[in-house]
Structure 1
Amino acid sequence: MLAKEIMITDLPLVTASASLAQLAQAMVSNNSSHVLVVAAENKLLGLVSGMDLRTALAEGNLNFSAEQIMTPRHKLLVASPDTPLEAAAEILAGRKISQLPVVLDDVPVGYLHLNTVLEMTSQSAKKSRNQLEQFRQAALLVEAMREGLAVVDRDYRLREFNPAAVEYSGLAAEQVLGQRSRLYQEDHSPVRRVMETGKPLLNLEVRTSRERVFMTNNVPIVVDGEIVGVMQTFSDITDLKRLQQQLLHTKEELDKAFALTLPNSRVEYKLKGTPEYRDVFNAANGLIEVTEVIEDGGYQHVVNALKVTADLNEKGLMGLLGIDKDILVQALIFHDLGKSQPVLNVGQVADPRKVFEPGIIHAMRSADIAENYYQKPKDVVTLIRYHHHSAEQLPADFPSHLLPMLRLLQIIDGLSAGLTRRNGRIGFRVNGSRVTIVENNAHPAYNRTIEVDLYTGQDFVYNGIKLLNSKREAATK
């Protein structure tokens, strides 16, 4: 028997930019203890396990993406569709893992679950006098399972109770083996329902009296058409359920808090209706290939800009003379409100110089909206109007007192673009009026370390490209 004959094809897939909340949701929705991280054309990038997710939460990395916590592809053990069942069983048992991706040409096509391999191994064993003995012939897999496994006969006597079941229950195997289980005999017990109906009950959540939540799979053991017992596997998903609720609650609170900063629902609607695009830039011909469409990209861009602002505020930068936090925040909220984006699809190749409107134009439009529809202060409007201008393009009468804030707004705008469109990772150091930025991106061309003096405008590029050249339109010149 080969992997392709028994693999599960309903895959829990996420992109590299998926948040922790989205990872938890994908695990729960697919009843899986892992998710596969894929790139364009579903190429496998890595795997995130429940342990990876819990570790990220415990370390306080709530803003991390799937790419930042996954086990990368080159470190993963995988099977091919033609991997024999015995070889897959050896990998699962030898490495003490419960799920094994099945990959064809670097594209995940399924995964093997230890429970399925255990069942198939048992079925392929030589026939013995009773079916329960066949399950015992798979002892190596049973011992290695992270899921608890219990097998009962028709009299509800426990015939198998693996180490994971001992750990979950707190009961010693020698105390329960051969004994009747009152728990499994109860009317609401899924084991009893399977025993009486002969129909399996899969992916069933069971909550215990101790407020623990277990995901159970219950299948009948049939010999010559007669039910002779039931096998149950179970895993503790309590922490995962709590994590999911915590992340969802945190996201809801953040969304509510941000919504309060918006002047009305029309601003939120416009931002969420403005897409952004992730793409691959071909330096040889100046074209891009779209790899992902971020439907609410305008909204995410503003949220990321405010997160960067909050980080800089923690480092004391908002206390610098010439920096007004309230004016800066208002400028960030409105700075792209007049932006108009083309409609592009994944896989589409386009010339960014032709399809994207120059930043200066939408900056002017955004400033007009902020001034005429929302009566924003003159300084806010001026910052918005010129946030895509280089120093050489600024008019001679540009207010000199706004120059430090304009430079900071441009820094924040560029870094937010890196976070939103390129899954960038950023770090800061503040020394008086000087800000040092370290940025790492999926696009190596955007990697840089740069120091900018907000007062003088002087910048020191240690590696990579200049700050203002990080804009999409400038990068393609």
Structure 2
Amino acid sequence: MEDILMDRCDLPVVPPDASLKEVAKALLESEGALVIVEKEEGVYGYIDGKTIIKWLLMGDEGAKFKAKDIAVLIKDEDKLESSMDIEAIVERINKCGRLPLFTGKEGKIAGRLSPDKLIGELARSHGEERKKRVDTEHLIEAVINLLPFGIALVSEGGEVVQANRLAMEIISENSIGTEEMKAIVKNNQRKIFTTKTGTYYRMCTDILRETNYFLVTFADITAEYTMMEKLRSSQSEVETAFSIMLPDQRIEARLKSIVEYMDEYDESTGMIKITGVIKNGCFRHVINMLKLIADAFRQGLMELPGMDKNALVQATVLHDIGKVQPDLKIGDIVNPKEVFEKGHHHAFRGADLSRALYNIDDKVYYLIKYHHHVENELPSDFPQYLLPMYRFFRLIDGLSAGITRRGSKVAMKVKGTRIHVKEESSFPTYNQEIEMDIYTGFFASRKL
């Protein structure tokens, strides 16, 4: 500190009884701007040039005073340690609120703080800090430009404050203006955009806490998007093939006319809130049941005595043609026991319609008629040989409902007469594992 911030010149020292002329002479013969007065051993004061001039202008009256009379006492708080860094010096100045400050060795005053040098050192330090900050900003910019996803900082008004190269490319190519961006971040929308190269990006937004800014990211979902398109195409092909195979095209029209509902259940009130309306819901439900039958067929379940693939397929296609749904819309809050018809009503209706119109055999008739009955409620004349198919049919009916209404992922493993199922969806209360034996009727379920 001493070399950088302190005046290098020796400060003149005068005895306490020195006259003003002697003080002035000492100041003129030095390179400094003030004179040190040694009042007594270890106690110092100082006189600056302005003070000397003021007293000399007083003439004979001023000449009566000695150096010790007009010197300003140098207190401990006016002294600096030579080892102090610039931050500590600035803190001391802020604390004392005045200059000059002095440094010394072995109890003697050796120099004073130079304001010019202090300003110069602060400017140099500030310049270094600014350079570091600029270099850091350039480094951060280089790093975020290397990220495999787009990232942007967006204001509440939809203005892009900063963004990496990929984000700017996506925003530019899709002409995402300020108003559109404002609406996206305000409503926390998730949108999909594409670039000229055919890459698909999902845009997500998150508000930065305690600020009015949003972090917008663009993740590459090309592989996922392509796969979903293939699945949609495959689903369409399956549905087309299924429609062609139907014995009566009116069955397709009937199934597609029956909607299914997505809902949220309130355990405290027993009410449900409609959160989605699935058009063609019953048709999709049947398709999903057929897929589960196909999965079980591949695993050998249909090779067991008592299992009839054709009867299961026919029952699946026809089991809900008698179903009638209430007319509800998103946001409706209803009591499901009051607005939805009890399941056995449409089961009975569907069985009778199917027998009258499509000449189904007894196996299919019983499966349709009693698919909403629990096993201990079955009538005494229910054929015992149908129980394995009945149990399997009720299982896949429930699993397909989860797939259709909640987007559940179902993994089914068949081992002999035992079936193990794992169902997972975005509705945790429905996540479960099921194990059942279609011969003995053993059934166990566990929430995940």
TM-score bracket, shorter-length normalisation: 0.5 to 0.7
The answer to whether the 8 A contact 1:272-1:296 is kept is yes
User: d(CA) in 1 for partners of 2:341 and 2:171?
Assistant: 54
Name the residue aligned to 1:45: none
Residues 1:316 and 2:397 aligned together: no
User: 1:80–1:90: structure 2 CA closer, same or farther, 3 Å change rule?
Assistant: farther
Name the residue aligned to 1:55: none
Classify the secondary structure of the residue corresponding to 2:264: strand
User: d(CA) in 1 for partners of 2:347 and 2:392?
Assistant: 16
Q: Structure 2 matches for 1:354-373, cutoff 5 A? A: 354-373=338-357
Q: Structure 2 matches for 1:162-177, cutoff 5 A? A: none
The answer to whether the 8 A contact 1:370-1:376 is kept is yes
Name the residue aligned to 2:188: 107
Please report how far the alpha carbon of residue 460 of structure 1 lies from its aligned counterpart in structure 2 after TM superposition.
Answer: 2.0
Name the residue aligned to 2:387: 403
Name the residue aligned to 2:238: 254
The answer to whether the 8 A contact 1:449-1:463 is kept is yes
Give the counterpart of 1:286 among 255, 266, 270: 270
Residues 1:265 and 2:340 aligned together: no
The answer to whether the 8 A contact 1:363-1:385 is kept is yes
The answer to whether the 8 A contact 1:276-1:297 is kept is yes
Please report how far the alpha carbon of residue 251 of structure 1 lies from its aligned counterpart in structure 2 after TM superposition.
Answer: 4.2
Name the residue aligned to 1:332: 316
For 1:357, give the aligned amino acid: E
For 1:331, give the aligned amino acid: A
Give the counterpart of 2:160 among 85, 88, 93: 85
User: d(CA) in 2 for partners of 1:419 and 1:399?
Assistant: 30
Classify the secondary structure of the residue corresponding to 1:428: strand
The answer to whether the 8 A contact 2:420-2:435 is kept is yes
User: d(CA) in 1 for partners of 2:199 and 2:413?
Assistant: 46
Q: Deviations over 1:354-379 (max 9, x none)?
A: 11111111100110011111110111
User: 1:79–1:366: structure 2 CA closer, same or farther, 3 Å change rule?
Assistant: farther
User: 1:310–1:109: structure 2 CA closer, same or farther, 3 Å change rule?
Assistant: closer
Classify the secondary structure of the residue corresponding to 2:358: coil
Give the counterpart of 1:307 among 291, 301, 307: 291
Please report how far the alpha carbon of residue 262 of structure 1 lies from its aligned counterpart in structure 2 after TM superposition.
Answer: 1.4
User: d(CA) in 2 for partners of 1:384 and 1:80?
Assistant: 58
Give the counterpart of 1:275 among 237, 259, 266: 259
Please report how far the alpha carbon of residue 453 of structure 1 lies from its aligned counterpart in structure 2 after TM superposition.
Answer: 0.5
The answer to whether the 8 A contact 1:322-1:402 is kept is yes
Q: Structure 2 matches for 1:121-200, cutoff 5 A? A: 147=196
Give the counterpart of 1:422 among 406, 431, 434: 406
Q: TM-score, normalised by structure 2?
A: 0.54
User: d(CA) in 2 for partners of 1:245 and 1:462?
Assistant: 34
User: d(CA) in 2 for partners of 1:382 and 1:278?
Assistant: 29
The answer to whether the 8 A contact 2:322-2:350 is kept is yes
Q: Deviations over 1:262-286 (max 9, x none)?
A: 1111111100000000111111111
Classify the secondary structure of the residue corresponding to 2:436: strand
User: d(CA) in 2 for partners of 1:422 and 1:318?
Assistant: 28
Name the residue aligned to 2:375: 391
User: d(CA) in 1 for partners of 2:225 and 2:428?
Assistant: 37
User: d(CA) in 1 for partners of 2:391 and 2:295?
Assistant: 17
- CA RMSD of superposed structures (Å): 3.7
User: d(CA) in 1 for partners of 2:367 and 2:231?
Assistant: 35
User: d(CA) in 1 for partners of 2:223 and 2:186?
Assistant: 35
User: d(CA) in 2 for partners of 1:245 and 1:255?
Assistant: 15
Please report how far the alpha carbon of residue 300 of structure 1 lies from its aligned counterpart in structure 2 after TM superposition.
Answer: 0.5
User: 1:79–1:325: structure 2 CA closer, same or farther, 3 Å change rule?
Assistant: farther
The answer to whether the 8 A contact 2:154-2:160 is kept is no
User: d(CA) in 1 for partners of 2:435 and 2:317?
Assistant: 25
User: 1:93–1:243: structure 2 CA closer, same or farther, 3 Å change rule?
Assistant: same
The answer to whether the 8 A contact 1:428-1:438 is kept is yes
User: 1:244–1:107: structure 2 CA closer, same or farther, 3 Å change rule?
Assistant: closer
Gaps of 5+ in 1: 1-70, 115-145, 149-212, 216-237, 465-477
Name the residue aligned to 2:82: none
For 2:188, give the aligned amino acid: V
Classify the secondary structure of the residue corresponding to 1:278: strand
Q: Which has the larger radius of gyration?
A: 2
Classify the secondary structure of the residue corresponding to 1:449: strand
User: d(CA) in 1 for partners of 2:295 and 2:333?
Assistant: 36
Gaps of 5+ in 2: 1-148, 201-221
Residues 1:451 and 2:422 aligned together: no
For these two proteins, the number of residue pairs brought into alignment is: 273
The answer to whether the 8 A contact 1:450-1:462 is kept is yes
Please report how far the alpha carbon of residue 89 of structure 1 lies from its aligned counterpart in structure 2 after TM superposition.
Answer: 5.4
Name the residue aligned to 2:139: none
Name the residue aligned to 2:336: 352
Q: TM-score, normalised by structure 1?
A: 0.51
The answer to whether the 8 A contact 1:92-1:98 is kept is no
User: 1:407–1:345: structure 2 CA closer, same or farther, 3 Å change rule?
Assistant: same
User: 1:243–1:391: structure 2 CA closer, same or farther, 3 Å change rule?
Assistant: closer
The answer to whether the 8 A contact 2:154-2:161 is kept is no
Classify the secondary structure of the residue corresponding to 1:108: coil
User: d(CA) in 2 for partners of 1:446 and 1:244?
Assistant: 24
Name the residue aligned to 2:34: none
Q: Relative contact order (alpha carbons < 8 A, sep ≥ 6): 1 or 2 greater?
A: 1
Please report how far the alpha carbon of residue 347 of structure 1 lies from its aligned counterpart in structure 2 after TM superposition.
Answer: 1.0
User: 1:460–1:252: structure 2 CA closer, same or farther, 3 Å change rule?
Assistant: closer
Please report how far the alpha carbon of residue 391 of structure 1 lies from its aligned counterpart in structure 2 after TM superposition.
Answer: 1.1
User: d(CA) in 1 for partners of 2:248 and 2:437?
Assistant: 36
Q: Deviations over 1:364-423 (max 9, x none)?
A: 011001111111011100110011100111011210000000000001100100000111
Q: Deviations over 1:13-68 (max 9, x none)?
A: xxxxxxxxxxxxxxxxxxxxxxxxxxxxxxxxxxxxxxxxxxxxxxxxxxxxxxxx
Please report how far the alpha carbon of residue 346 of structure 1 lies from its aligned counterpart in structure 2 after TM superposition.
Answer: 0.9
- Higher alpha-carbon deviation: 395-404 or 81-90: 81-90
Q: Deviations over 1:306-346 (max 9, x none)?
A: 01111111111111211100000000001111000000001
User: 1:348–1:376: structure 2 CA closer, same or farther, 3 Å change rule?
Assistant: same
For 2:442, give the aligned amino acid: Q
User: d(CA) in 2 for partners of 1:304 and 1:258?
Assistant: 12
User: 1:397–1:241: structure 2 CA closer, same or farther, 3 Å change rule?
Assistant: closer
